[in-house]
Amino acid sequence: MSPEYTLVGRDGVGNLAKAGRDKPTVTSFLEKHSFLAPLLLQAHEKIEEYFGPSNIILDVTVDPDDPEYVMLWARVQTTLEAADAVRQLTRFDEEWWLDTPISALELMNVNLEFV
């Protein structure tokens, strides 16, 4: 049985894996690295402090030059102007995200998606 991961977005509570573009890949990644689920929930709360109510889309990428390098991306959907959004993301990184344990930073990152 797959673990259930909840994530609160603008549309309410959902399954973390369902927030992904490639649901089977995101599900598999989160099952393999289940310690990231609580971090995603914390990150979502912090993201809302910087961006207001936000949906986060999960995406797993594989480095084409190194197939062993797999990264989960939490993409913050925002309607902010690019300069403002980048400024907020920089603050988020410097004030909270970069204090995340290295074991998580090696597997997950946060970026913007303009909607």
pTM equals 0.82
| pLDDT, the chain, mean | 85
Domain spans of the chain, in order of start: 6-114
pLDDT for position 13: 39
pLDDT of residue 25: 87
Could you tell me the two tokens for 30?
């989160």
pLDDT exceeding 90 applies to what percent of the chain? 60
Considering the four listed CATH numbers 3.90.1520, 3.30.950, 3.10.50, 3.30.300, the one that applies to the domain covering 6-114 is 3.30.300
pLDDT (tens digit per residue) in 1-57: 334 344 544 444 345 555 667 788 888 898 899 899 889 889 989 999 999 988 888
